[in-house]
Amino acid sequence: VTVRRVGRPAPPEEAEPDAPSRPALRLLYTTDLHGYFGPCECVPGQLGGLARIATILDGLRGEADASLLLDGGGAVDRPEKHALLAEALGTLGLQASGLARADLAPERAAWREALAGRGVKLASLGGGEGVARRLDLPAAGGTVHVISLPEVDAPEEAAALARAVRAEPAAARVA
């Protein structure tokens, strides 16, 4: 997702008539890694893994003034991977994770603690200790609101939060 500034045209001497504007903010999103550090080999010839993700993220980050890396949950599948995967995602620059229903289970408390220990903010309407219902992340001179709804547990509450966010003055548009 690319976010461009609204209402801040470039000075005439800096503007190039046919050049695309540089994004003010790029939102980068991962989800459902299921603990795989490399390709899962569930599909022949599959490319992937954390090394490939890191390469892609570096390229996308270089094309924008700022970026936020968010995860949609479902990143880990087994307890023995909690600390190592949290460290890897922290190294990639993960800033916030919306938690899936499985991530909120009591047996995943160590996963949530490992992420929080790496400075990753946690969000879910499902709640829980150390888990925000809504995150407001500073980015590119504004705020990005993150709302995570695990498997549509509370659609009315999610809709109300989305309406509240939409009611706030817009400083950027999503392209």
pLDDT tens, 94-103? 999 988 878 8
What's the sign of the alpha-carbon dihedral 156, 121, 92, 78?
Answer: negative
Closest CA relative to residue 1, chosen from 28, 33, 22: 28
Question: Which helix (H) or strand (E) is 162 found in, with range?
Answer: helix 155-167
- In this structure, are residues 99 and 74 in contact, taking their beta carbons and an 8 Å threshold? no
pTM of structure: 0.73
pLDDT in tens, 106-156: 888 899 999 999 999 998 866 677 788 778 888 877 778 777 766 555 567
pLDDT in tens, 8-30: 444 555 555 555 678 888 889 88
Q: What is the DSSP letter of 132?
A: B
What percentage of the chain exceeds 70 in pLDDT?
A: 73
